[in-house]
A and B are shown apart, each in its own frame.
Chain A
Amino acid sequence: MAKVTIDGVVYELNPENNLLQECLSQGLDVPYFCWHPCMGSVGACRQCAVKQYRDENDTQGTIVMACMTPVSDGAILSVDDQQTKAFRAGVIESLMTSHPHDCPVCEEGGECHLQDMTQMSGHNYRRHDKKKVTHRNQDLGPFIGHEMNRCITCYRCVRYYDDYAGGTDLSAQASHHHTYFGRFEEGTLENEFSGNLVEVCPTGVFTDKTFSENYTRKWDLQVAPSVCVGCSVGCNITPGERYGTLRRVVNRYNDEINGYFICDRGRFGAHYVNSESRVRGARDASGLSIPVDDARVRLDAVIDEGNVIGIGSPRASNEANYALRSRVGVENFYSGHSDDEHEALEIIVNALRDESFHCPSIREIENADAVLVLGIDVTNAASRVALAVRQSVRNLSKDLAQESKIPVWQDSAVRELAQDKLSPLAIFSVGSTRLDDVATFKVNLAPDGLLKAAVRLDSVLSGQSADDGLVENELPIESLNHISEALLNAKNPLIICGTSAGVEMLRIATNMGRSLGAQRGAAVNLALLPTESNSVGHALMVREGNTLGKAFERIERESIKTAIILENDLYRRAPSANIVAAFELLENRVVVDHVETNTTKAATLLLPSTAFSEQEATSVNYEGRAQLSFQVNDCGTSAKTAWRWLFDEKSHSPEGVIKKCSEDMSDFAKLVHCLPKAGSLVAGMKVPRQSHRYSGRTAMSAQANVHEGKQAVDEDSVMSFSMEGVYPQKDASVLASPWAPSWTSNQSISKFQSEINGALKQGQSGVHLLSRSGKGSKYEIGALETVTQGLQVVPAQHIFGSEELSGHALPIQERMTDAYAAISPKTASTIGVQAGDFVRFRDSEICVEVCVRVLVPNDVVLVYAGNRAAGVHFNLRDIERVEILERVETAPAMPVSRSLGLGQLLVNDLYEERG
């Protein structure tokens, strides 16, 4: 620690950091723009000026940029110095010369870092009376709005988008005061993390287009701390509601998970709660709506009749799954996963209990210095992990910088020094992935070859000498040796696999983890990624052997009368024929859900449930970390949170159900720790969901009733649907939307962190449910066959479209494509088809468009099944065993609600080479 005097006060500061970061960590108000806690310093904006004095006798001092100045022991500084203050005000004055001052109509108004800094610097009188520079804006697609005139040229957008997130289609253009940030020409921003631009931009240049269309000031949004349901990562988010609709989602800081950034599926996919396809009321078999109370009576009646099974869901909360399980009995509670996913989850859960492994958080993934990705496209399966892996490859450059005595926060200097040197990242995949640009080893093979290569790598890793020569399809053994060495020599190696890689690959991945662990004599970072928000939580509740297949068997074998299907479209889980057969045997098909699916269509009793933002619930992410998500707003319909249908709601509260989960199920014993700590409320007052400035409360519903309605009361929660109350001082799980005096923007989070980039002062939210004990042994890998006939079908994952719920969100639909079959040029010529033709999977009715891409291995067909919410779609499980494609002359009539084409399929999604 270094002793530094700032305005007469001595602080102990971390000498590894720059002065700005340390000042902010100390809670000092130093204005800044270009610096970002995740992106280091470049010194462009000159806003963070402070005075530095040589020694006690130096009365003049020199102005330095805090962000570019290392902390050094004995330094004497001033933030308050008059001359420096004048300079900081002057900087704002300069960068506002061409600003349009359109705050009243700007989406950023009221949470604008530029407004904050302008206030803070004391610049409040405009002297510039010359012409302003103006720019033309670009249409950047469905997610992001563009208003270049508001730009203050801090370069944060391109530094984030290109340098941090790996985007290639946004750049700084032109120069001097004409500098422009945009694309080569109009068009959709391609990067999957483009939404963060909204939060990275300190003013209103890049705005959330979906929010702009339905705009509400930050202080008029009703918010609550929430957790994204887009994938198994569980990023912390803050959804905001007004007039009963979800208006937007922003990142909610969590130092171990998402940090400052979330993916576009999470940000824009949450709009599904506003979707047309929400289930708004209860229905009976004939599709007629029925009153809620009737529905309740019918439900209780069929359950009382007995012979009931329940099918849970990986996208439903712990409480909902638990309620169903309690109601039908654990022996009658079945997995809502497909059978192979169920098996995959067993592997994942076993790994989470095994001492040989450590499952890294996102932050820990960023710290890995050698990464092996097995069989999945991380970006499309669990995007936030991909962003972390992208950071991990830069660890080598940080080491190099340290050797050269360049501070790691000197961002461009570190990049310059390292050039294209990257920490090792090996990707085994069928086809291309969105991380290929930073991969140092790429193994691109058909599934059979990929498995064999992985097995060989495992034997190399376990030290068995592998004979020289080619492994599979010309993959030289040296490549495997390289990968193995990289993993063995790294300080912090990591293996990533996921359910979408298939059960066999997951087994091999854990085997590799064991081999690596044995060689290194330590627990190995192993991140096994399921695809859904509560896959792990759900799997933990299902009794061994209670697979979905077993449920179908039981329906066939025994006289099961009723199945209660919880928030789950079974047509995504099993072949249609099996479902239809089972459904026919059932007298009652009770479906609880909040979106319409093929399963809700088949319901004899449909019960509407609430979406994630309308309920307080917990879920368990890929790490086995349980997190609590609060209700943002009342759903405004007769829908009930799923567990309320199943439990006696009068005698339960969300807290009560969480406590029961903890008591009843040993794996969930720690779930109660997700709840706000007892005593965390100030003077027993609830935490308001509305801001102190929440406006229009008395008038919001005046068009319906001139009497001001009573504020909705939330009896169950520590949060209230009101602006009265006190924000908790001790519990971060209830911190939805940071705000501090002078800091209205998201940058105010620094006021709540123990140090910049550190944990929230109020403690960390979330709790790891599982503890590790004992070490398992390697899985037996059966003989791996080489497929010699037909095409191997590999499902393609899409960040926009593969996930069920986000697929209902309109902005996401604009980024989705129709279903397709991607094949290599060679395969295409063998079959005699071209890109744009339609093909049928033999023995099925399913026809899809062909897309020809060079990085698809020969004899493989990558299939994207579309999303039922938009465009051509089908049940992927129906073609698993269909191996031959036939050309069809004309595109068949499909249940197309609206055709999307393949236009949104970015060229680099699968790589295309032409000419």
Chain B
Amino acid sequence: MNREVIVSSGKIARDLSDAEVKEIEHELTLYPDKKAVGLEALKIVQRHNGWVSDESMLAVSKYLDIALSELEGVATFFNLIYRRPVGKNVILFCDSVSCWIMGCEKIRKEINSHLGIDYGETTEDGEYTLIPVPCLGDCDKAPVMLVGEKMHRNLTVDSIKSLSSSRETQNKSGE
């Protein structure tokens, strides 16, 4: 039964897209119960929308009949579920020990100055959000970061400069 959840803010579930429903349905075939798919569904919703809004939470809660507060407990536990809007590309910046030894702090400062963002912030054009991430498992190529789904290794000050300039040219060509 798809039970409507009523919340005091009056927000209501958005409609899940056909693509989202299809992917969620697929996940449902892989796990023995719906609850296990809750987190998967949040990831699916995030893949399609960039982040997980309250309306999306309500939609997943309703679709899978998982209590809203429980789902929120799960969503807020994990690092990679974004409950606030993020930029088009999330920069997962490794600041764990090997990258730290190899000077990731300097790179972070470079991001600060070239992209104008620090941890938790999004560039004004909505292109990048910077988030720290635990060790990305590429320590022999430290410092590293993940931009979207792409690893950037052996980072230098120049790699950040080229990242920000490629954005500038993109933006220009987009105009």
Residues of A within 8 A of B (CB): 162, 168-175, 180, 182-187, 419-420, 854, 907-908, 911-915
B124 at the interface (CB under 8 A from A): no
In the complex formed, the residue of A with least CB distance to B62 is A915
Alpha-carbon separation in the docked complex, A911 to B3 (Å): 8
In the complex the two chains form, is B8's CB within 8 Å of A186's CB?
A: yes
B73 at the interface (CB under 8 A from A): yes
> Which chain A positions have C-beta within 8 A of B13?
915
> Which chain B positions have C-beta within 8 A of A912?
3-4
Residues of B within 8 A of A (CB): 1-9, 13, 33, 54, 57, 67-70, 72-73, 76-77
In the complex formed, the residue of A with least CB distance to B32 is A419
In the complex the two chains form, is A170's CB within 8 Å of B69's CB?
A: yes
Contact flag A173-B67 (CB < 8 Å), given A186-B8, A913-B1: no
In the complex formed, the residue of A with least CB distance to B68 is A184
In the complex the two chains form, is B77's CB within 8 Å of A907's CB?
A: no
> Which chain B positions have C-beta within 8 A of A420?
33
In the complex the two chains form, is B4's CB within 8 Å of A168's CB?
A: no
Alpha-carbon separation in the docked complex, A162 to B70 (Å): 9
> Which chain B positions have C-beta within 8 A of A908?
3
Alpha-carbon separation in the docked complex, A316 to B1 (Å): 44
Contact flag A171-B3 (CB < 8 Å), given A185-B8, A186-B8, A187-B8: no
* CB proximity of A856 to chain B, nearest CB, Å: 14
Contact flag A168-B76 (CB < 8 Å), given A911-B1, A913-B4: no
* CB proximity of B53 to chain A, nearest CB, Å: 13
In the complex the two chains form, is B2's CB within 8 Å of A907's CB?
A: no
* CB proximity of B116 to chain A, nearest CB, Å: 27
In the complex formed, the residue of B with least CB distance to A906 is B6
In the complex the two chains form, is B3's CB within 8 Å of A168's CB?
A: no
A selection of 15 A-B contacts at a CB cut-off of 8 Å is A168-B67, A169-B68, A169-B69, A170-B69, A171-B67, A172-B73, A173-B69, A184-B57, A185-B8, A186-B8, A187-B7, A187-B8, A908-B3, A911-B1, A913-B1
> Which chain A positions have C-beta within 8 A of B76?
173-175, 180
In the complex the two chains form, is A173's CB within 8 Å of B72's CB?
A: yes
Contact flag A915-B6 (CB < 8 Å), given A170-B69, A173-B76, A184-B69: no
In the complex the two chains form, is B77's CB within 8 Å of A171's CB?
A: no
Alpha-carbon separation in the docked complex, A300 to B67 (Å): 61
* CB proximity of A177 to chain B, nearest CB, Å: 13
In the complex the two chains form, is A913's CB within 8 Å of B8's CB?
A: no
In the complex the two chains form, is A184's CB within 8 Å of B1's CB?
A: no
Closest 7 CB pairs of A and B: A168-B67, A171-B73, A187-B8, A171-B69, A914-B4, A184-B68, A173-B76
Alpha-carbon separation in the docked complex, A912 to B2 (Å): 9
Alpha-carbon separation in the docked complex, A49 to B127 (Å): 51
Among B3, B7, B69, B77, contact of A913 (Cβ-Cβ < 8 Å): B3
Alpha-carbon separation in the docked complex, A172 to B75 (Å): 11
* CB proximity of A259 to chain B, nearest CB, Å: 26
* CB proximity of A23 to chain B, nearest CB, Å: 32
In the complex the two chains form, is A173's CB within 8 Å of B2's CB?
A: no
In the complex formed, the residue of B with least CB distance to A158 is B73
In the complex the two chains form, is A184's CB within 8 Å of B4's CB?
A: no
In the complex the two chains form, is A184's CB within 8 Å of B72's CB?
A: yes
> Which chain B positions have C-beta within 8 A of A169?
67-69
* CB proximity of A181 to chain B, nearest CB, Å: 9
* CB proximity of B1 to chain A, nearest CB, Å: 6
> Which chain A positions have C-beta within 8 A of B67?
168-169, 171
> Which chain A positions have C-beta within 8 A of B5?
907
> Which chain B positions have C-beta within 8 A of A911?
1, 3
> Which chain B positions have C-beta within 8 A of A184?
7, 57, 68-69, 72
Alpha-carbon separation in the docked complex, A515 to B3 (Å): 38
Among A171, A186, A907, contact of B70 (Cβ-Cβ < 8 Å): A171
Alpha-carbon separation in the docked complex, A656 to B162 (Å): 95
Alpha-carbon separation in the docked complex, A378 to B69 (Å): 25
In the complex the two chains form, is B73's CB within 8 Å of A173's CB?
A: yes
Alpha-carbon separation in the docked complex, A913 to B62 (Å): 10
Alpha-carbon separation in the docked complex, A172 to B73 (Å): 5
> Which chain B positions have C-beta within 8 A of A186?
8
Alpha-carbon separation in the docked complex, A162 to B72 (Å): 14
Instruction: Choose among B2, B3, B9, B33 the residue with the greatest number of A CB atoms under 10 Å from its CB.
Output: B3
> Which chain B positions have C-beta within 8 A of A185?
7-9, 54
* CB proximity of B79 to chain A, nearest CB, Å: 9
Alpha-carbon separation in the docked complex, A419 to B31 (Å): 14
Alpha-carbon separation in the docked complex, A401 to B85 (Å): 44
Alpha-carbon separation in the docked complex, A170 to B72 (Å): 10
In the complex the two chains form, is A168's CB within 8 Å of B9's CB?
A: no
> Which chain B positions have C-beta within 8 A of A914?
2, 4
In the complex the two chains form, is A168's CB within 8 Å of B69's CB?
A: yes
In the complex the two chains form, is B2's CB within 8 Å of A171's CB?
A: no
Alpha-carbon separation in the docked complex, A324 to B33 (Å): 61
Alpha-carbon separation in the docked complex, A420 to B7 (Å): 27
> Which chain B positions have C-beta within 8 A of A854?
1
In the complex the two chains form, is A907's CB within 8 Å of B6's CB?
A: yes
Among A172, A182, A913, contact of B2 (Cβ-Cβ < 8 Å): A913
* CB proximity of B132 to chain A, nearest CB, Å: 14
Alpha-carbon separation in the docked complex, A171 to B72 (Å): 8
> Which chain A positions have C-beta within 8 A of B72?
171, 173, 184
Contact flag A183-B69 (CB < 8 Å), given A174-B76, A175-B76: yes
Alpha-carbon separation in the docked complex, A172 to B77 (Å): 9
In the complex formed, the residue of A with least CB distance to B72 is A184
Apart from A169-B68, A171-B70, A187-B8: 17 A-B pairs, beta carbons within 8 A = A168-B67, A168-B68, A169-B67, A170-B69, A173-B72, A174-B77, A184-B72, A185-B9, A854-B1, A907-B3, A907-B5, A908-B3, A911-B1, A911-B3, A912-B3, A912-B4, A915-B2
* CB proximity of A851 to chain B, nearest CB, Å: 13
* CB proximity of A135 to chain B, nearest CB, Å: 13
Alpha-carbon separation in the docked complex, A185 to B68 (Å): 10
Alpha-carbon separation in the docked complex, A433 to B108 (Å): 57
* CB proximity of A444 to chain B, nearest CB, Å: 12
Alpha-carbon separation in the docked complex, A532 to B9 (Å): 37
Alpha-carbon separation in the docked complex, A854 to B1 (Å): 10
Contact flag A175-B4 (CB < 8 Å), given A168-B67, A168-B69, A184-B57: no
* CB proximity of B109 to chain A, nearest CB, Å: 24
Alpha-carbon separation in the docked complex, A859 to B57 (Å): 36
Alpha-carbon separation in the docked complex, A652 to B8 (Å): 55
> Which chain A positions have C-beta within 8 A of B4?
907, 912-915
> Which chain A positions have C-beta within 8 A of B3?
907-908, 911-913
> Which chain B positions have C-beta within 8 A of A180?
76
Alpha-carbon separation in the docked complex, A331 to B73 (Å): 63
Alpha-carbon separation in the docked complex, A908 to B1 (Å): 12
In the complex formed, the residue of B with least CB distance to A914 is B4
* CB proximity of A91 to chain B, nearest CB, Å: 23
Alpha-carbon separation in the docked complex, A915 to B1 (Å): 11
Alpha-carbon separation in the docked complex, A162 to B68 (Å): 13
Alpha-carbon separation in the docked complex, A180 to B83 (Å): 15
* CB proximity of A352 to chain B, nearest CB, Å: 39
Instruction: Choose among A168, A172, A184, A911 the residue with the greatest number of B CB atoms under 10 Å from its CB.
Output: A184
Instruction: Choose among A180, A912, A914 the residue with the greatest number of B CB atoms under 10 Å from its CB.
Output: A914
* CB proximity of B118 to chain A, nearest CB, Å: 18
* CB proximity of A205 to chain B, nearest CB, Å: 16
> Which chain A positions have C-beta within 8 A of B70?
162, 168, 171
In the complex formed, the residue of B with least CB distance to A186 is B8
* CB proximity of A740 to chain B, nearest CB, Å: 36
* CB proximity of A432 to chain B, nearest CB, Å: 11
Alpha-carbon separation in the docked complex, A420 to B35 (Å): 11
* CB proximity of A182 to chain B, nearest CB, Å: 8
Alpha-carbon separation in the docked complex, A186 to B11 (Å): 12
* CB proximity of B7 to chain A, nearest CB, Å: 6
Alpha-carbon separation in the docked complex, A200 to B33 (Å): 31
In the complex formed, the residue of B with least CB distance to A188 is B8
In the complex formed, the residue of A with least CB distance to B61 is A184
In the complex formed, the residue of A with least CB distance to B8 is A187
Alpha-carbon separation in the docked complex, A171 to B69 (Å): 6
In the complex formed, the residue of A with least CB distance to B5 is A907
> Which chain A positions have C-beta within 8 A of B69?
168-171, 173, 182-184
